[in-house]
Amino acid sequence: MIKDRLEEIKRQAFESLEDSLKDESLDKLNQIKVKILGKKGELTEVLKGMKEVSKEDRPKIGQLVNDTRQEIESALEEAKLKLNKSIREAKIRSETIDVTLPGKRPVFGSRHPITIALDEIIRIFTGMGYEIAEGREIELDYYNFEALNIPDGHPAKDEQDTFYITDKILLRTQTSGTQVHEMEKGKLPIRMISPGRVFRSDEVDATHSPSFYQVEGLLIDEEVSFSDLKGTLAEFARQLFGEDTRVKFRPHHFPFTEPSAEMDVSCFKCGGKGCRFCKGEGWIEILGCGMVHPHVLEMSGIDPVRYKGFAFGVGLERIALLKYEIDDMRLLYENDYRFLKQF
């Protein structure tokens, strides 16, 4: 009876091993091992029935069980070796490269529209003798606000507009702090632009983002007037938007400049006649500017009687949106290849 049971176990084991080799499954191989040779396996159950065998036959039957176990273990090991070899060969075949096949043409990127706009602005101002100054994205409250004539209690310091790290450390809301660092060095005259990323707590939509780019400029020297500011920015607009571009200055207020203004350029689509692009007005707002406030000069250790200066700031995204007629600021940050390849 036990002998017949052992023969049946061995037959089923060999059939299962053949199936596992066909399926190339190591999992099935392990399942067979557990089912037959495990602690609760079929051979273990046979050994539990040895108590019903007579003492005279027990050695014989025990030897038969051991022989069966060894045969199945040997078959399992042989099947495992075959299966591992088959899996390795399949992997090698899948990883083989046919060097005679034609190569895949690489996809080349292009410059981002913000980078194009920045390079153009840098080219224009370096051509006028300005230097590039890089600042800190994590800034002290003093340089971001107080040194720019924005005292405590000013609306611009409200936490809904500014990302504060501590009471005195924040993510800069403007690149003007770089200008203060340059003024504190005391190396006059100063002609500089400071491009960089700034942060404000704005909701994301077609015209706003919590992270965007600015370029701010500063000139400090003796006998500097508002006429110098107007002439510089008029030349900047002509080089950026075309020789026929006209500019218009409107009174405005910024804490760190006095007097202050916003500059409009004539619409480069319709030449100032009025169109959909300029909303029928013929003019497009482009930047803010003004003469540096005397108190800002004093706080940076510069004599406001001897020295004067002007400052201006322009948003890079706004330049890119206008120059390339993009109607949604979010397109600049989504990294959609279909959009970016146009540039």
- Which residues does residue 255 pair with via DSSP β-bridges, in sequence order? none
113-340 to CATH, choices 2.30.130.10, 3.30.930.10, 3.40.50.2000, 3.40.50.620 = 3.30.930.10
Average pLDDT, consecutive stretches of 10 residues, N- to C-terminus, the chain (343 residues):
67 70 68 70 65 64 71 76 78 78 80 92 95 93 92 73 90 93 93 94 82 94 95 94 91 93 87 76 91 95 95 92 85 85 82
Question: Distance (Å, rounded) from C-alpha 160 to C-alpha 201?
Answer: 6
107-139 burial, b at 16+ Cβ within 10 Å, e below that, comes to eeeeeebbebbbeebeebbeeeebeebebeeeb
The residue count for the chain = 343
170 closest CA partner among 143, 194, 131, 134: 143
270 conformational bin, left if phi > 0, alpha if psi -120 to 50, beta if neither = alpha
This prediction's pTM: 0.66
Local structure of 202: helix, strand or coil:
coil
What DSSP line would sit under 208-234, residue for residue?
A: --SEEEEEEEEEEEET--HHHHHHHHH
- Which residues does residue 209 pair with via DSSP β-bridges, in sequence order? none
Question: Distance (Å, rounded) from C-alpha 230 to C-alpha 244?
Answer: 16
Q: Which helix (H) or strand (E) holds 264?
A: strand 257-266
Angle between helices 58-95 and 2-23 (to 10 degrees): 0
Question: Distance (Å, rounded) from C-alpha 260 to C-alpha 215?
Answer: 17
